[in-house]
Chains A and B, each alone.
Chain A
Amino acid sequence: MKEKKHSIKSDFSMLAILIIPIAAAVNFVGGQLASLLKLPMYLDTIGTIFAGMLCGPWVGAVAGGLTNVVTGIANPVNFAFIPVNVLAGLVTGFLARGKMFGTWWKWLISMVIMAFVSIASAAPIVVLVYGGVTGSGTSLITAAAMAAGANIWAAVIGTEGIWTVVDRIISFLIGYLVIRVIPARTLVKFGCGENYIKKTTAGK
């Protein structure tokens, strides 16, 4: 098969343009659902992750950035976290281009990379802009760790870190399940969709 050429302009196909609003809305609904089920994770990057998986890094980044702009309208606290979500989209997209979602161990590596990137990008914002607390359930644990004498950086990275890893595992699982269910005739229309089609059926 011929190797595909990627350009930013061709990434933003008609279908990709329509996936961005869906991704932003899924991010929002995922976050809402997580708080409805009283889970201690944010789970608000699911849309960004599947947009990056299906349409590549740039669409993922736009979806991520737009999510925080749109949710920032209701709660401007989210504006500060735009870089975290943009980076999540970029990294997932590049992993998808690099065919890092082919086998189960590659999924594991991608998950670790994603969790690491998220912690590294979120921790400075939490510490420098919000002084360690963001009003979520994990903030209480962070505050408790700080009260026990832990350094603010250690407290934030320690508590946010554990939940970020769980958060990414769930988000990636959902991305995987979604891609498994989407029929191949729809998958081919996405920029990175071909990577997820089983070659045995495509060859026949």
Chain B
Amino acid sequence: MWREKLQLHKSNPIAALYPSCKFLILCLYAACSFVLGTIGVGEGGYPLFLIPWFFIVPILSAASGVWKRFLRAFRAVLFIAGLILVVQSLLIPSEVVVWQLGFLRIYQAGLKSGLSLSFSIMNIAGMFVWMFQTTENKEFTRALEDSGMNYKAAYVFISSLQMIDVLGKNSRTIMNAQRARGVETEGNMIVRAKAFFPSLVPLIVGAITSSEERVLTLESKGFDVNGPKTHLFELKKSGNEPLATGIAVAVAVVVIAGRIVLWVL
């Protein structure tokens, strides 16, 4: 049946978790990252616990069966985190030099803040990548609506995601058309900056004028009517949520208890 085609069936038990359960895991993980970041190891007080803690993200992604998608989305985060680590450790001067090669000096304070910043970013951003790669956009929207979000807000959210595809395609068409008319897109920076206008202005104007028609379409379908709404896409709990939440809470409790024990000792 056509309605059956809209539903999602996931075989992987981790990927099939309910979106709000995944979000809870993410929040606990991020909180633990902050806690672990406060533990200094060795003379320099480096936050080394963040490094093994980070391994959870790729392991979880591989276990969820989204390893390739995770890697593709995580590349951008990895690039920035690496850049931050290099810039911070080489460029923030302090008295103690940890390591020296020619004119390159790695300073203690810089290395410490670089490690802390880059691994915190990788931890939190990596977990977001995992969440978004294991969850479809329509699952999110449905979960948001079920948790009490206004249906109009949920519509705006999903519509933005779709609009990015639509306008992205349109912008390529417009740019090719303008190029065919002789608008230069290569050359010095002023020439390139000038090419920006004929590509973007028609795109925006077209989108705004077409939104008038969309208002009529939506209103004719009863979008503004107050009353219970029906859904074509159903979101079910997989049944493993209590177990997953239990594991996440247990790990978080152990981490926080460990931190408190270290304080007391």
- Whether A26 touches B125, Cβ cut-off 8 Å, given contacts A32-B168, A66-B157, A133-B84, is no
Report the bound CA distance from A30 to B208 in whole Å. 16
Q: A98-121, CB under 8 A of B: which get 1 and which 0?
A: 000000000000000000000000
* Contact of A50 with B by CB under 8 A: yes
Contacts of A15-46 to chain B: CB distance below 8 A = 15, 17-22, 24-26, 28-30, 32-34, 37-40, 43, 46
Hey, which chain B residues are within 8 Å of A73, CB to CB?
A: 132, 137, 161
B36 to chain A, nearest CB (A): 18
Consensus secondary structure, chain B interface: helix
Contact of A15 among B132, B156, B215 (CB under 8 A): B215
Contact of A33 among B200, B205, B219 (CB under 8 A): B200
Q: Is the Cβ of B203 less than 8 Å from the Cβ of A130?
A: no
* Interface-lining segment among A84-92, A181-189, A195-203: A181-189
Known: A131-B84, A135-B79. 14 other contacts (CB 8 A): A18-B214, A24-B163, A25-B166, A26-B200, A28-B167, A29-B167, A33-B171, A33-B196, A37-B195, A76-B124, A132-B87, A132-B91, A135-B80, A147-B90
* Contact of A139 with B by CB under 8 A: yes
Report the bound CA distance from A12 to B171 in whole Å. 27
B123 to chain A, nearest CB (A): 11
Hey, which chain A residues are within 8 Å of B219, CB to CB?
A: 14
Q: Is the Cβ of A17 less than 8 Å from the Cβ of B129?
A: no
Residues of A within 8 A of B (CB): 12, 14-15, 17-22, 24-26, 28-30, 32-34, 37-40, 43, 46-47, 50, 62, 66-67, 69-70, 72-77, 79, 129-135, 139, 143, 146-147, 152, 170, 173-174, 177-178, 181-182, 186, 189
Hey, which chain B residues are within 8 Å of A77, CB to CB?
A: 76-77, 80, 121, 125
B31 to chain A, nearest CB (A): 16
Q: Is the Cβ of A20 less than 8 Å from the Cβ of B160?
A: yes
Q: Is the Cβ of A19 less than 8 Å from the Cβ of B211?
A: yes
* Contact of B247 with A by CB under 8 A: no
Consensus secondary structure, chain A interface: helix
* Interface-lining segment among B15-23, B185-193, B257-265: B185-193
With both beta carbons as reference points, the residue of chain A lying nearest to B213 in the complex is identified as A18
A203 to chain B, nearest CB (A): 25
Hey, which chain A residues are within 8 Å of B92, CB to CB?
A: 152
Q: Is the Cβ of B163 less than 8 Å from the Cβ of A75?
A: no
Hey, which chain A residues are within 8 Å of B84, CB to CB?
A: 130-133
User: Number of contacting residues on B, CB 8 A?
Assistant: 63
Hey, which chain B residues are within 8 Å of A143, CB to CB?
A: 87, 91
With both beta carbons as reference points, the residue of chain B lying nearest to A19 in the complex is identified as B211
Q: Is the Cβ of B91 less than 8 Å from the Cβ of A170?
A: no
With both beta carbons as reference points, the residue of chain B lying nearest to A38 in the complex is identified as B192
B173 to chain A, nearest CB (A): 12
Hey, which chain B residues are within 8 Å of A70, CB to CB?
A: 157, 160-161, 164
A189 to chain B, nearest CB (A): 7
* Contact of B231 with A by CB under 8 A: no
- Whether A189 touches B208, Cβ cut-off 8 Å, given contacts A26-B167, A133-B80, is no
Contact of B156 among A21, A72, A170, A174 (CB under 8 A): A21
Hey, which chain B residues are within 8 Å of A75, CB to CB?
A: 73, 76-77
Contacts of B168-212 to chain A: CB distance below 8 A = 168, 171, 175, 185, 189, 192-193, 195-197, 199-201, 203-205, 207-209, 211-212
Q: Is the Cβ of A14 less than 8 Å from the Cβ of B218?
A: yes
Contact of B117 among A24, A130, A135 (CB under 8 A): A130
Report the bound CA distance from A130 to B113 in whole Å. 10
Contact of B212 among A146, A147, A186 (CB under 8 A): A186
Hey, which chain A residues are within 8 Å of B73, CB to CB?
A: 74-75
Hey, which chain B residues are within 8 Å of A29, CB to CB?
A: 164, 167-168, 171, 200, 203
- Whether A182 touches B87, Cβ cut-off 8 Å, given contacts A29-B168, A33-B196, is no
* Contact of B56 with A by CB under 8 A: no
* Contact of B155 with A by CB under 8 A: yes
- Whether A174 touches B201, Cβ cut-off 8 Å, given contacts A22-B167, A147-B91, A182-B209, is yes
